[in-house]
Amino acid sequence: MIANRHNVRENLLLALDTIRGHKVRSLLTILGVLIGTFCVIVVASVFAGLDQEFVEAAQDFGTHTLFIYKWQPAFTIGRRSKEERMRKPLTYDDGLAIQEQCPSVQATAVEIFVWGPNPVVKYKAKEILNADFIGATGNDFDVVNDALADGRFFTEVDNLHRRNVAVIGADVVKRFFDHEDPVGKTIIVNGAAYE
Per residue in 111-128, pLDDT tens?
887 777 778 888 888 888
pLDDT exceeds 90 at position 41 = yes
What burial class does residue 137 get, using C-beta atoms within 10 Å of its C-beta: 0-12 exposed, 13-18 middle, 19+ buried?
A: buried
pLDDT (0 to 100) of residue 12: 85
For residue 99, tell me if it sits in a domain: no
- How many angstroms separate the CA atoms of 81 and 149, rounded? 41
**Could you tell me the residue range of the domain that residue 29 belongs to?**
2-61
| Per-residue pLDDT band at 55 (split at 50, 70, 90) | confident
Same domain, 124 and 186: yes
**In a domain? residue 48:** yes
Q: How many CA within 13 A on the CB side of residue 105?
A: 15
Q: Which of 44, 61, 78 delimits the end of a domain?
A: 61
Number of structural domains, the chain? 2
Q: What is the average pLDDT across 133-162?
A: 80
Specify if 133 maps to a domain.
Answer: yes
In a domain, 80, yes or no: no
Tell me if the pTM is above 0.85. Answer: no
